Structure 1
């Protein structure tokens, strides 16, 4: 049986690959809709990017809803210095063929959860603003959430500040609401995603697929990037969320209590993960720490090869 999911996202190259992977895995995953949020770039651009990626996949039938323009409390910080001015540097994608669907992303999340007889899985790949708003506006939807599989946080060092991973730093207050929601959470933080390295040889393999999707992914993964990450390949953060749904046996972790720092200052967005249970607090997330990276990207490539 397929698992019905909503992807909440701020594309971003890694987000784009995650969306393509979810579309390719249509026998296992039913992508109900894509909702967008401000993060890597402002929300008008993340929405256009989601539409562009679905055009690439030949799935203009999947609804896309534009969401929150800014975090709950703090000012928006974006990451064009990483992903390029339009968020999809290297993709070579044209403008979208359509507009976003009518209505706000938060309303779409609420409506679809209320209508889901067997519940839905939420897959946030960016800041958690839309989810937090939905949970506060309609707490009745919480029992309809089968699980939340998210990319965000870090066991160790951050990637946008010394303490914080980007998604948690952008909207820490939203993250705190989501981690306090009482539903099952699987957390893909930097502790595992920086181990999910697609090697140079595997990246080159996308170019040899002979498809538009393969060429676009290859372009995104070989673009110039700041810093030293990816010297032996390319860390693929967001695809880990979809990969976990497909192949959980490739990942391992443990149940932990995760606290989000919401105060202003250098600790904002830090995820304090009680890996060894020192605080004796109930676990609120299953924190993934290990991945079989080579096998992961062999399987990703085989699925992506089925796209146009």
Structure 2
């Protein structure tokens, strides 16, 4: 059986790869893509999502724009990592499709309420504004969602501050709502995603595929690698967002521990910190889990396999 997901994202280089993985993997039924301001402004990330949808052959998947700012705080974006377009590097032609007329929050709610209870997994890979508003506007979705598998946070150190990861610190109030809603949450944070390194060997594997989607990913990674070297001193860039999708595809690829999680909402040095109570032993029955380890070889195998399959979908979109 396939797993139905809604991918809420802010493309973004690694969000784009997450979209391609979700569309290309046969274990995933991608119900919708929704966008939120984060890596860049809403209009830019939505344009990017539509372009990636074209590349992936997402002919039946709605793409809807959502919130253009955090719940409380001033917007902030990440041009030093993703460029002024939000996805610098590849030359993106204008999309041949239009954005869905519904607001992302409405699309999320309508989709979850229309599907059987426990069948839809939410996969947010950007700020959690859309997800927080959806569960506040329609609290019943908390009982209907299978789980929330989000990319964000960290158990130990941050990337946007000493203690905070970018997706959480841009809208910590929304993150607090999502972490404390009555649904299962898996935090796929920096502890695992910093292991998803696009090394030269990985880029060689993707280059060897030789189709349109793989060439697009190579162009993404070339810019991403340069940005990460200059801004965060990584020899190879970590590709964060597809790790959350990989966790949904095969739970054994991303090892997690059950641990209480919450979000710091103050305005001091720890704002946006995802606080894990590590005093007690790990509890598999915990409502919240945190990713701690990644099987890198199997993870990149999923990416390569999805990119190979996407070429066939582009050639035969009616299938």
**In 2, distance between residues paired with 1:112 and 1:189?**
26
**Aligned residue for 1:289?**
292
**Aligned residue for 1:227?**
231
TM-score when normalising by structure 2: 0.92
Tell me how far 1:92 sits from its aligned partner. 2.6
Tell me how far 1:229 sits from its aligned partner. 4.4
The alignment yields a C-alpha RMSD, in angstroms, of 1.7
2:136 is the alignment partner of 1:133? no
Tell me how far 1:152 sits from its aligned partner. 0.3
Tell me how far 1:195 sits from its aligned partner. 1.2
User: After the TM superposition, which residues 232-271 of structure 1 pair with which residues of structure 2 at under 5 Å, given as runs?
Assistant: 233-271=236-274
Instruction: List structure 1 runs of 4+ shifted beyond 2 angstroms.
Output: 226-230, 275-278
TM-score when normalising by structure 1: 0.95
2:13 is the alignment partner of 1:13? yes
CA deviation string 1:64-119 (max 9, x = no partner): 11100100001111001110111111233212222211110001111111111243
Q: Per the alignment, in what secondary structure is the counterpart of residue 149 of structure 1?
A: strand
Tell me how far 1:228 sits from its aligned partner. 4.0
Q: Which has the higher helix share?
A: 2
Residues 229, 235 of structure 1: 8 Å contact kept: no
Q: Per the alignment, in what secondary structure is the counterpart of residue 310 of structure 2?
A: coil
**Aligned residue for 2:159?**
159
**Aligned residue for 1:42?**
41
**In 2, distance between residues paired with 1:192 and 1:276?**
21
**Aligned residue for 2:309?**
306
**Aligned residue for 1:179?**
179
User: After the TM superposition, which residues 85-164 of structure 1 pair with which residues of structure 2 at under 5 Å, given as runs?
Assistant: 85-118=84-117, 119-164=119-164
Distance 1:135 1:293, change over 3 A: same
Residues 198, 294 of structure 1: 8 Å contact kept: no
Number of residues paired by the alignment? 305
Residues 246, 254 of structure 2: 8 Å contact kept: no
**In 2, distance between residues paired with 1:172 and 1:68?**
15
Distance 1:171 1:228, change over 3 A: closer
CA deviation string 1:239-265 (max 9, x = no partner): 001111112212212101111011123
**Aligned residue for 2:29?**
30
Tell me how far 1:307 sits from its aligned partner. 1.4
